[in-house]
Amino acid sequence: MINTALVSFGMSGKVFHAPFISTNPDFHLVGSWERSSKNIEAAYPGTKSYDSYEALLADPTIDLVVVNSPNDSHYAYVKSALLAGKHVVCEKAFTNTSAEAKELDELAQKKGLKLAVYQNRRYDADFLTLQKLIKEDEIGDLLDVQISFERYRTTLSPKKHKESVTPGSGLLYDLGPHLVDQALVLSGMPLAVFADIRITRKVGIVDDYFTMILYYPGHRITLTSGMVFMHQLPGYKIYGTKGSFIKNRSDIQEAALIAGIKPNAANWGEEAAEDYGTLYTDHNGLITNRIVPSIPGNYGMFYEKMADAILNNAPVPTTAQEGTNIIRVLEAARNSAFNKRVVGI
């Protein structure tokens, strides 16, 4: 078994990591570093609360460290874990700069350790279903792709690190990595980026809205996110030469996890029929449509692949190079918004 420890047992640890680690037979959840409240031992009897990161890294039984702390600490914590001889899963955003990301990738390779970035939204029901349609050639060549992650919240998040003026804060580095990762999975690195990044709420002090256009030789991908969308539009609008797929963003996993439902529950990740997307197809001028049942979402696929990587030397689920590419796109987006021009990558 892969003895695993978390850097934090806040929402990320409680909701997105511990449930999947604890229910996967290849992993043993050893504990977490907890700075003030000591909660992991009550939530997972038999686990341990470490008083410091140094104590966690000094534990020779730990094989894998999950760095799920605020963005501005990722680089230092991942580097320390790699130097201590631990495999690492790092939450998104991987690092604040692509130079930092490249350095960590090189260090992991030098040490012969597995380093992965936690891009769980690859395993949303929405995105899994879209990829299946593309693989089955229901969409054809992509012409225009629009992916959005919209919310409505006029107050600041209680998670102060997300909306304080610190490196890696703001919506671009919070939800941006999810959207950019999905774009890169679909189409690879773009040729160039144009972005509009703004503060739209009166209480905001860091960016809470962005739109970016990723340029490819034959198509464009538009990514949008913001905190002022009182009515959310479809999260996925995919237009191709053979078909178009329209779907609301409706993966149920996060809500289920927050409610305390474990990922080994029956019917995990299955969406309600009213949340299924619609595929439109042109048959010699006659446009028809059909409802497409969603593939169940499963964030557990990330840890299944991570176990295979550590135990069998298979590829990690999201490589450090892929994480670096995401940061490169975010850096180009910031450059574009600041200079009000298209920026090549």
Claim to verify: residue 243 and residue 271 sit in the same structural domain = yes
Can you give the pLDDT at residue 344? 97
Claim to verify: residue 25 and residue 46 sit in the same structural domain = yes
pLDDT in tens, 302-315: 999 999 999 999 99
- Which of 102, 117, 132 is a domain's end point? 117
Claim to verify: residue 133 and residue 211 sit in the same structural domain = yes
Residue numbers of the domain that contains 197: 121-301+329-344
- Which of 117, 147, 170 is a domain's end point? 117
Question: Mean pLDDT for the chain?
Answer: 96
User: Is 2 a residue whose pLDDT tops 90?
Assistant: yes
CB 263 within 8 A of CB 300: yes
337 within domain boundaries: yes
Claim to verify: residue 204 and residue 107 sit in the same structural domain = no
Claim to verify: residue 109 and residue 125 sit in the same structural domain = no
315 within domain boundaries: no
Claim to verify: residue 155 and residue 297 sit in the same structural domain = yes
CB 82 within 8 A of CB 54: no
Claim to verify: residue 104 and residue 140 sit in the same structural domain = no
CB 74 within 8 A of CB 102: no
DSSP string, 5-35: EES--SHIIIIIIHHHHHT-TTEEEEEEE-S
Query: Taking residues 267-278, what's their average pLDDT?
Result: 97
91 within domain boundaries: yes
Full-model pTM: 0.95
CATH number, domain at 291? 3.30.360.10
Residue 180 banded pLDDT, cuts 50, 70, 90: very high
Claim to verify: residue 50 and residue 144 sit in the same structural domain = no
63 within domain boundaries: yes
Claim to verify: residue 47 and residue 142 sit in the same structural domain = no
CATH number, domain at 98? 3.40.50.720
Split into its structural domains, the chain has a count of 2
